[in-house]
Amino acid sequence: MSILGPVLIVIATVAAMEGVAYSVHRWIMHGPLGWGWHNSHHEDRHGPFEKNDLYAVVFALLSILLFMLGGRWWPWLWWIGIGMSVYGVIYFVVHDGLVHQRWPFRYVPRQGYFRRLYQAHRLHHAVEGRDDCVSFGFVYAPPVDDLKARLRASGALAERRSRHKDAWQPESGAD
């Protein structure tokens, strides 16, 4: 096998993984089957890990399985495992590190692609609960203005503002 074949398999797998990640995030993690793990990601984290991190373990185990099958019988599966692993590293650096600041330092991008990605994912978390969220991809972000328009149209932000406003009550007798 020439080097071109494996390189193309890895690149195609990384690209395909964004579609897989979008689909899993949208319809499994935010669906009734996966919300039990994923809701921890939409709440305040206490400690270095959250239940949602189990999804990374599942994808790592799938990648390991591909390495095993590819090493034993079908070599092209090994290269797909490499592509999944590369996507996992990208996810860890961009999503966990850049967006959710799970690094030991804080960096907020001020311009360009990373700013758009950061803003899109912050808008994903602007909605409480699993419904009416936007932007389910991890390395692709739709235009921020489009996401804001979708959030306004859904009424989810107005509902959130109303809920938080009603939750605050001044103490009786306070001056």
Sorted by where each begins, the domain ranges of the chain are 4-167
pLDDT at 165: 54
Q: What integer best gives the mean pLDDT of the chain?
A: 87
Residue 70 CB partners (closer than 8 Å, separation 6+): 76, 77, 78, 79, 80, 81
On the question of pLDDT at 171 being above 50, the answer is no
144-158 average pLDDT score? 84
Which residue would you say has higher pLDDT here, 5 or 104? 5
- Per-residue H/E/C for 20-77: HHHHHHHHHHCCCCCHHHHHHHHCCCCCCCCHHHHHHHHHHHHHHHHHHHHHHCCHHH
47-51 average pLDDT score? 88
70-94 average pLDDT score? 93
CA 56-54-108 angle, 5° bins? 60
Give the residue from 162, 135, 170 showing the smallest Cα distance to 151: 135
29-55 average pLDDT score? 90
Which residue would you say has higher pLDDT here, 159 or 105? 105
pLDDT at 173: 45
On the question of pLDDT at 9 being above 70, the answer is yes
Q: Which band of pLDDT confidence, cut at 50, 70 and 90, is reported for residue 100?
A: confident
Angle in degrees, 0-180, between the axes of helices 4-23 and 75-91, rounded to the nearest 10? 50
On the question of pLDDT at 47 being above 90, the answer is no
